Amino acid sequence: MDKLLPEVTEENLEVLGRAIHKDTDDPFVVLRNAGIDIEPELEEFRQFLEEISGKNAQKLRPSKAPRETSPDLSKEAAKLLGLLRGLKYAHYPKEAVDGIRKELEIKVEALIKKPEENLELLGLYFTIIRLIKAEKFEDAEKLLERLEYA
């Protein structure tokens, strides 16, 4: 994810939001059209999965499964937005921020067992984790607002 968004800007957040939105058929096209080439990172990730699973990475490529089976990103965005707003009203206490970040990392660990089925949520969680670590709470809130109401 660090390679995907080397700089957190409004434009990059907008592109990432469109790429991981539940109605996006092909996030790679959205990213490619914005000048973001993630093919090297994808290949690296496929190799990593191949190494840890002993499976052929070709089998892990996403299928053209119906979109109804994907998680409801809007609902998850609403939950995360509520958490961030709670942090905001509490003036972002370090202990609470760390707790939410750790919760998201635990969710990532669970979802990464079947990444081909959970790409949207993984992308969302990785992005929010990165923004939280960078203390870019307002940027995270803006992204989640767009996903919640999209």
Is residue 22 a contact partner of residue 120, using CB atoms and an 8 Å limit?
yes
Backbone conformation region of residue 70, classed left if phi is above 0, alpha if psi is from -120 to 50, else beta: beta
Rounded CA gap, 108 and 111, in Å? Answer: 5
Q: So what's the pLDDT on residue 44?
A: 77
Q: So what's the pLDDT on residue 150?
A: 53
Q: So what's the pLDDT on residue 65?
A: 44
Chunked mean pLDDT (size 10), the chain, 150 residues: 61 78 76 72 75 60 42 81 90 92 92 87 92 93 80
Is residue 73 a contact partner of residue 20, using CB atoms and an 8 Å limit?
yes
Q: So what's the pLDDT on residue 140?
A: 92
CB atoms within 10 A of CB 147: 23
CA distances (Å), origin 70, targets 14, 85, 118, 145: 21, 26, 7, 20
Rounded CA gap, 93 and 88, in Å? Answer: 9
